[in-house]
């Protein structure tokens, strides 16, 4: 297998243009966490015409609800959750400038269209590999919705966070291409 | 009659919650390891190696292998010779409360409509049966939502028979794709009633991975289904590959002459289960 590509977060357009479905990446920089309940609140803010709790332009959202940190630890275990549950909210965030998403599993057609139309990228991390992934998180700070506990929005500083490009900005789809390659039935 | 105290139950449940989240049973670890050897996709192989590496870190550093430490599901067998002078349910829930707090596990249980978190991962799902003897056997299988959400149930027509069962199982795995964190274990409950089939499917997941079904016909059906599922090409995490499932487990029960319930309970690769006997 090829070596992983090192990329910086937040994302820039020239980096997005270089990424293709199936590429392994190591992300270093700042990413934000949000899952079901936080997404619902973000969209409610937009409906009310209010500002989001962080500037979403160029950012990554990592779909994760970590376990509580043990005393002295930065964060608990922190693997990806199923991205499809955020599909209803995602196109609107991409339109506002969200560029990267990290989760697991396939996205809806609406999300894939938004990724293509607005030059974004969706990456998958290995689901369940939560203790391993947590090692790449160097700093974690709750910036909004503390009452949501594991679902609060966190600002994470990551170093060499491992992920795989699942859907690139050109319509490339690892799930579709990978499965087609190994499918042995009609 | 042998007396067992509420404290003993609570203490045992607390320990089971923590160890189930951090230390995977050897049957699952060896199933993933042999899958990593056989996987044809280079990327799939790397994913499986990352999963094994994660199991090792979790066990060594006593961390939850997955951040979704699940809703706590229990199967409890209470010997008829045991005297319980308290609410078994309360004692188990107290153990869950303590285990999820002291083990730094995620509290993932909420009101179904208001979505407010109960804050302590209770209530647990508790299935209790009475058995012979004077012991209490407690089995825990904490269940994450990623795989649970990909589970399905269908009331087939008896005319659909075994072929109908096979296509429903394969369709369920196909629809789930990469969402349930493959490689998965597929639990299938056939027969009984609407509710019983789901319980059979869940219970079948407790059988150690890699052990054959004691019924020859079911064993053959499990092997056939496993081959068909792995021919789907979904692969580790849905990235494509030859390992989509580690095993298929089937449990059956007699059903009404007019019905054929089939439940498919999907389990992710973090197939957590532990048991203790008091």
Residue span of the structural domain in which A110 resides: 5-185
Q: Chain B residues with CB inside 8 Å of A154's CB?
A: none
User: Does residue A18 register a pLDDT over 90?
Assistant: yes
Beta carbons of B174 and B235 less than 8 angstroms apart = no
The interface predicted TM-score of the complex, written ipTM, equals 0.94
Tokens (6 digits) for B268: 């992710």
Contact assessment for residue B99 and residue B15, using Cβ atoms and an 8 Å cutoff = yes
A39 catalytic residue (yes or no): yes
pLDDT tens-digit series, residues B92-117: 999 999 999 999 999 999 999 999 99
pLDDT, tens digit, for every residue of B186-220?
999 999 999 999 999 999 999 999 899 999 999 99
A139-182 pLDDT per residue, tens:
999 999 999 999 999 999 999 999 999 999 999 999 999 999 99
With CB atoms and an 8 Å threshold, state whether A128 touches B178: no
Quote the mean pLDDT of chain B.
Answer: 97
What strand order describes the sheet that includes B274-277? Answer: B125-131, B73-79, B136-140, B274-277
Catalytic residue (choose from A10, A11, A39, A80): A39
Q: A14 phi and psi, to 5 degrees?
A: -70, -30
Return the CATH number at A162.
Answer: 3.20.130.10
Spatial separation of the C-alpha atoms in residues A64 and B91, rounded to whole Å = 31
Please measure the distance between the N-terminal and C-terminal CA atoms of chain A and give it in whole angstroms. Answer: 28
- Residue B182: cis peptide before it, omega within 30 degrees of 0: no
Portion 133-162 of A in contact with B at CB < 8 A: 134-135, 149-150, 162
**Cβ <8 Å between A77 and B40:** no
Say how far apart CA B142 and CA B140 lie, in whole Å. 6
Among B20, B47, B239, pick the best mutation site for testing chain A contact (most A Cβ within 10 A).
B239
How do strand A153-167 and strand A24-33 relate by DSSP bridges? Answer: antiparallel
pLDDT at A1 over 90: no
Q: Computed over its alpha carbons, how large is the radius of gyration of chain B?
A: 19
Best mutation site among B51, B68, B174 for testing chain A: the one with the most A CBs within 10 Å? Answer: B68
pLDDT at A186: 62
Total domain count for chain A?
1
> Three-state SS across B106-167?
CCCCECCCCCCECCCCCCCEEEEEEECCCCEEEEECCECHHHHCCCEEEEECHHHHHHHHHH
Shortest CA gap A167–chain B (Å): 11
Q: Residue A185 above 90 pLDDT? A: no
Distance from the B274 Cα atom to the nearest Cα atom in chain A, whole angstroms: 18
DSSP B52-76: HHHHHHHHHHT--SSS---B-EEEE
Alpha carbons A46 and A7: distance in angstroms, whole number: 30
Angle, alpha carbons B77-B148-A100 (nearest 5°): 145
> What is the separation of C-alpha B87 from the centre of its chain, rounded to a whole number of angstroms?
25
DSSP A82: B
Q: Which of A76, A128, A178 has its CB closest to that of B268?
A: A128
CA gap B131, B136 in Å, rounded: 9
Task: Band the pLDDT of A2: cuts 50, 70, 90.
Answer: confident
Q: Check pLDDT > 90 for residue A120.
A: yes
Each residue's pLDDT, cut to its tens digit, for chain B (278 residues) gives 899 999 999 999 999 999 999 999 999 999 999 999 999 999 999 999 999 999 999 999 999 999 999 999 999 999 999 999 999 999 999 999 999 999 999 999 999 999 999 999 999 999 999 999 999 999 999 999 999 999 999 999 999 999 999 999 999 999 999 999 999 999 999 999 999 999 999 999 999 998 999 999 999 999 999 999 999 999 999 999 999 999 999 999 999 999 999 999 999 999 999 999 99
CA-nearest of B150, B111, B143 to B127 is B143
Give CA torsion, residues A162, A7, B179, B104, to 10 deg: 50
A162 in Cβ contact with A4 (< 8 Å): yes
- The pLDDT assigned to B262 comes to 98
Coil, strand or helix at B82: strand
């Amino acid at each position: 297998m090829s070596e992983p590509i090192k990329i910086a977060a937040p994302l820039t357009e020239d980096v997005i243009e270089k990424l293709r479905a199936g590429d392994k990446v190591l992300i270093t920089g700042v990413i934000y966490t949000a899952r079901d309940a936080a997404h619902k609140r973000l969209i409610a803010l937009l409906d009310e015409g209010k500002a989001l709790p962080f500037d979403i332009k160029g950012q990554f959202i990592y779909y994760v609800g970590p376990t509580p940190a043990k005393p002295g630890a930065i964060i608990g275990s922190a693997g990806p959750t199923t991205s499809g549950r955020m599909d209803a909210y995602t196109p609107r965030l991409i339109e506002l400038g969200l560029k990267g998403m990290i989760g697991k599993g396939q996205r809806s057609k609406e999300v894939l269209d938004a990724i293509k139309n607005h030059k974004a990228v969706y990456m998958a991390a290995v689901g369940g590999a939560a203790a391993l992934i947590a090692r790449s998180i160097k700093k974690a700070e709750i910036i909004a919705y503390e009452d949501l506990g594991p679902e609060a929005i966190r600002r994470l500083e990551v170093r060499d966070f491992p992920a795989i490009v699942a859907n690139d900005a050109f319509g490339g789809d690892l799930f579709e291409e990978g499965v087609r390659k190994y499918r042995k039935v009609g | 009659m042998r007396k067992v105290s509420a404290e003993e139950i609570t203490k045992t449940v607390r320990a089971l919650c923590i160890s189930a989240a951090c230390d995977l049973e050897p049957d699952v670890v060896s199933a993933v390891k042999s899958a990593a050897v056989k996987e044809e996709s280079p990327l799939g192989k790397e994913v499986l190696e990352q999963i094994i590496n994660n199991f090792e870190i979790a066990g060594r550093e006593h961390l939850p292998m997955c951040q979704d430490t699940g809703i706590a599901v229990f199967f409890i067998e209470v010997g008829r010779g045991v005297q319980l002078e308290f609410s078994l349910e309360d004692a188990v829930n107290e153990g869950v409360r303590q285990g999820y707090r002291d083990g730094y596990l995620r509290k993932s249980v909420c009101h179904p409509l208001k979505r407010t978190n109960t804050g302590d991962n209770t209530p647990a799902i508790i299935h209790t049966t009475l058995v012979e003897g004077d012991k209490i056997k407690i089995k825990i299988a904490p269940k994450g939502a990623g795989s649970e959400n990909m589970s399905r149930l269908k009331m087939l027509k008896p005319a659909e028979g075994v072929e109908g069962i096979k296509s429903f199982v394969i369709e369920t795995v196909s629809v789930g794709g990469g969402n349930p964190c493959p490689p998965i274990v597929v639990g299938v409950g056939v027969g009984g009633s609407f509710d019983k089939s789901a319980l059979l499917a869940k219970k079948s997941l407790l059988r150690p991975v890699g052990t054959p079904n004691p019924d020859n016909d079911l064993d053959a059906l499990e092997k056939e289904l496993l081959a068909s599922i792995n021919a789907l090409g979904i692969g580790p995490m849905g990235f494509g590959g030859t390992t989509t499932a580690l095993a298929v487990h089937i449990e059956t029960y007699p059903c009404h002459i007019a019905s054929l319930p089939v439940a498919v309970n999907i389990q992710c690769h973090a197939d957590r289960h532990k048991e203790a006997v008091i």
